[in-house]
């Protein structure tokens, strides 16, 4: 059984957030034990300066300030130091509850920013505010179009290897801006620990997003409340983030080339099935072709993302 520890509170504030990078030299703002739970919140992007109701021109002016400072826009709550976590361990993050703010924004940049899946098709850029009905867990996109809310953190990760300073906007082996919409309340994220204490951070709250995140943003919002429980797993070994939902295991991979990301996610799925189900690599490869779904996580974060959905329903207890 998993241990139940203390409950900590970590409100997002200028003293408890960092913006733009994952870096093991960023001092932790909270220290916890394995099994502890953290009730935390997060700001919107750019230290909360992104906000509902702003115009595209206002947003671009703020974004330019960060570009001039060579700073990314992702503002993360943390880092959280987990006692006992050492390089080679796995940090298990059980996502228990996620409550977004009452509004969010979606935008795409003008063509010259070269962001998004089709920047040349939408040269002017666009920005809209969406008001979130938290009672119904939905938002009205346009008359007759209602989007269900499925909040998650677009960005969760641990510090990268010592000496590395990684842009928070680009996902990689440490996690970061994964934008995986499966990581809702009730799911689990597994991250490979690179430095003592793991140094976990989270932000970039999304109220809803499609696989691909094609215009470069989801419903970008803040997280009013997130309840996360942390465990140090010394019995697991992974090279990249993995996920788990009540119905699936998920392998994830990131690479500038979508084909490369696909191959890595598939290889990780084959390895997982071989190690956990006693299949030969050939059997696992065949099973992936028959029962595992490959999905495009996002195509807009420099390192594109692919995740493999391994259904739990296909497995039966062998008597």
Report domain extents, the chain.
7-233, 247-314
pLDDT at 138 over 90: yes
Please list the alpha-helical segments (H only) found in 161-257: none
Q: Check residue 2 and give its pLDDT.
A: 66
Cβ-based neighbour number of residue 240 at 10 Å = 20
Taking residues 148-152, report their average pLDDT.
98
Alpha-carbon distance 220 to 105, whole Å?
Answer: 5
Q: Is the pLDDT of residue 319 over 90?
A: no
Exposure string (b/e) for 86-111, b if CB count within 10 Å is 16 or more? eeebbbbbbbeebebbebbbbbbbeb
Tokens 């934008």 correspond to: 179
Place of tokens 């215009």: 215
- Please tell me the distance from the alpha carbon of residue 74 to that of residue 47, in angstroms, as a whole number: 8
Identify the CATH number of the domain defined by range 7-233: 2.60.120.580
Tell me the pLDDT band of 1, cut-offs 50, 70 and 90.
Answer: low
The reported pLDDT for the residue numbered 317 is 85
Question: CA angle, 19 as apex, 57 and 13 as ends, to 5°?
Answer: 95
Mean pLDDT of the chain: 97
On the 0-12 / 13-18 / 19+ scale of CB atoms within 10 A, 282 is: exposed
Q: How far apart are CA 46 and CA 67, in angstroms?
A: 11
Residue 92, both tokens: 């298990």
Place of tokens 């080679």: 88
Residue 181: count of CB within 10 angstroms of its CB: 22
Rg (CA), the chain: 19
Instruction: List pLDDT tens digits, range 94-112.
Output: 999 999 999 999 999 999 9
CATH no. of 247-314 = 3.10.28.20
d(CA 275, CA 268): 10
């Amino acid at each position: 059984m998993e241990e139940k520890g203390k409950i900590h509170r970590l409100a997002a504030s200028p003293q408890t957030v960092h913006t733009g990078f994952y870096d093991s030299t960023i001092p932790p703002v909270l220290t916890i034990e394995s099994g502890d739970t953290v009730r935390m919140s997060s700001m919107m992007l750019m230290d909360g300066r992104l906000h509902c109701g702003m115009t595209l021109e206002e947003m671009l002016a703020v974004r330019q300030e960060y570009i001039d400072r060579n700073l990314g826009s992702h503002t993360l709550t943390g880092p959280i130091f987990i006692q006992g976590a050492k390089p080679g361990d796995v940090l298990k993050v059980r996502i228990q509850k996620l409550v977004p703010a009452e509004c969010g924004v979606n935008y795409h940049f003008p063509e010259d920013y070269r962001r998004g899946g089709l920047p040349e098709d939408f040269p002017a850029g666009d920005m809209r505010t969406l008001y979130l009905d938290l009672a119904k867990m939905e938002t009205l996109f346009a008359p007759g179009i209602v989007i269900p809310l499925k909040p998650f953190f677009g960005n969760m990760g641990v510090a990268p290897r010592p000496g590395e300073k990684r842009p928070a906007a680009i996902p990689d082996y440490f996690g970061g801006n994964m934008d995986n919409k499966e990581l809702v309340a009730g799911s689990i994220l597994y991250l490979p620990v690179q430095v003592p204490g793991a140094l976990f951070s989270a932000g970039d709250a999304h109220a809803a997003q499609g696989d691909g995140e094609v215009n470069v943003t989801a419903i970008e919002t803040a997280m009013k409340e997130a309840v996360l429980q942390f465990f140090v797993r010394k019995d697991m070994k992974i090279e990249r983030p993995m996920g788990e939902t009540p119905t699936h295991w998920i392998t994830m991979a990131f690479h500038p080339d979508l084909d490369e990301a696909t191959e890595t996610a598939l290889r990780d799925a084959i390895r997982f099935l071989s190690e956990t189900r006693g299949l030969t690599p050939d059997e696992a490869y065949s099973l992936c072709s028959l029962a595992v779904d490959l999905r495009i996580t996002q195509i807009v974060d420099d390192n594109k993302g692919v995740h493999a959905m391994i259904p739990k329903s296909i497995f039966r207890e062998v008597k």
